[in-house]
Structure 1
Amino acid sequence: MRRLIPTGFPAAALAAACCFGAIAAAIRLQAFPGLDERVAARIQGWESPWLTPGMIFLSWMGTGLPLVLLTAAIMGLLYRKLGLRRELGLIAFIALGSALLNTGLKHLFRRPRPEVYRLAEATGFSFPSGHSMAAFSLYGLLALLLWPHLRGVAGRTAVLAAAGILIAAIGLSRIYLGVHYPSDVLGGYAASACWIAIVLALYRRLSRTA
């Protein structure tokens, strides 16, 4: 495996864990009353006949069978085009772990979903957003894996920008559709970033000793 982005993964995991803890504490303590609702209302104010189908499509891509099929397709391309093998197991492990972590965190915090404004239906608890965690895990990890195979600033910047846009768009779609608070989405990003950083730190350590 070529070298990943030269980042201190343990430090990144700690920073992401601190961000998640701060968001969770703010929700529990109601440190910023009404802030979630005001930000959500601003985003939902974008509602329009042409934007809503796109947001529904992005949300649909963010979890379930579409995400599984997309992940499998990306794994196939990485294997055929770049010859990555061990990384395929890494992708599957992070994706599965992200889903299990999200389920555990949802049942730990048991935050009800928004009820005031809905353009889509969703069940289960609200915090953290499963769509946001899944999107961050897949596209964030994909950008990290592609990074060492790209040459030049332009290519690497394009990959990071594309991953960031997809992650942000899927998170925004959940707020726009009224099924998550903004803090659910931010918490999902932080939890997923922490999970990826922990796994990659362990993976690099094991790769050195293998």
Structure 2
Amino acid sequence: MTFSNKTYIMFGSLAIFIVISVLSLQNRLTTIDQAIISSLTGDVSPFVASLMEAVTKLGSGEIILIFTFIIAAILFFKKLYTQIVFLFTLTFGGIALNFFLKILFQRERPGEMSVIEVFGYSLEIASYSFPSGHTMRSVLLFTFLIYMSYYFIKNNTTKIGAIVIFSLMIIIISLSRIIVGAHFPSDIIAAVTISITWFYLCLILIQRLPIENFINKIKKVT
């Protein structure tokens, strides 16, 4: 993918996020949000509801952090140091960005207001709704895995299979946040678009900075 294509996607996603943000602040998405929620949750069976409760946990901060460090360890053993920098920048920068946006917009959740919890410990900080943190974390992690699959898996069948699976994980986790009543659909769309924006911004920066040369210099010194 060329530099211009990456910038088009990045700014296009950012533009969609800005539009959704403005409409959300003006409460002009309420009708659409409620219509989508009703269509998704109207005939949900207890089994599907339980399944969505389980699926949505995959986007929790704890699970994402565990997966991130496991992936980083694999990349380290394969000596893909630039990709480790990319992954950490993407993940931890994305967490910080999500926290900033939640504080900025302070949109209440469709259900009861909750607090942020990390590994079972309550931080006593309100967990706002916009944009969805679960969705952002999931989109960033699985988009990174899609990127890695596209560039590093040689077998086309395996590559396509991995990309499809990771794409489905993004969709299922995103939908689960609506079905379990944790977010409005506009929270999800906003999370997806700002995540794509952040992903391509990080990708452009990582590919244009001489990280590999810097790492090689450190290795020579040590």
Would the TM-score normalized by the shorter structure come out above 0.5?
yes
What is the alpha-carbon distance in structure 1 between the residues aligned to residue 61 and residue 128 of structure 2? 16
Number of aligned residues: 201
Shift of 1:33: 4.0
Q: Provide structure 1 residue ranges, at least 5 long, that are not aligned to the other structure.
A: none
Q: Provide structure 2 residue ranges, at least 5 long, that are not aligned to the other structure.
A: 116-126, 214-222
* 1:99 aligned residue (95, 98, 102): 95
Give the aligned residue type for 2:19: A
Q: CA RMSD in A?
A: 2.1
> Relative CO higher for 1 or 2, CA cutoff 8 Å, sep ≥ 6?
1
Would you say 1:41 and 2:38 are equivalent positions?
yes
Following superposition of structure 1 onto structure 2, how do residues 61-210 of structure 1 map, counting pairs within 5 Å? 61-80=58-77, 82-115=78-111, 122-123=114-115, 124-151=127-154, 153-207=156-210, 210=213
| Residues 51-78 of structure 1, C-alpha deviations (whole Å, 9 max, x = no match) | 2222112111102222211222222233
What is the alpha-carbon distance in structure 2 between the residues aligned to residue 70 and residue 208 of structure 1? 23
Match of 1:50 in 2: 47
Shift of 1:201: 0.6
Larger radius of gyration: 2
What is the alpha-carbon distance in structure 2 between the residues aligned to residue 56 and residue 135 of structure 1? 15
What is the alpha-carbon distance in structure 1 between the residues aligned to residue 138 and residue 70 of structure 2? 15
Conservation of the 8 A alpha-carbon contact between 1:59 and 1:170: yes
| Residues 86-136 of structure 1, C-alpha deviations (whole Å, 9 max, x = no match) | 211211111001100001001111111103xx7xx8432100000010001
What is the alpha-carbon distance in structure 1 between the residues aligned to residue 23 and residue 196 of structure 2? 19
Give the aligned residue type for 2:102: K
**Which runs of structure 1 show a deviation greater than 6 angstroms over 4 or more consecutive aligned residues?**
none
| Residues 179-203 of structure 1, C-alpha deviations (whole Å, 9 max, x = no match) | 1001101100111110111111111
What is the alpha-carbon distance in structure 2 between the residues aligned to residue 32 and residue 108 of structure 1? 18
What is the TM-score with the length of structure 2 in the denominator? 0.82
Shift of 1:26: 1.8
Which of the pair is proportionally richer in strand?
A: 2
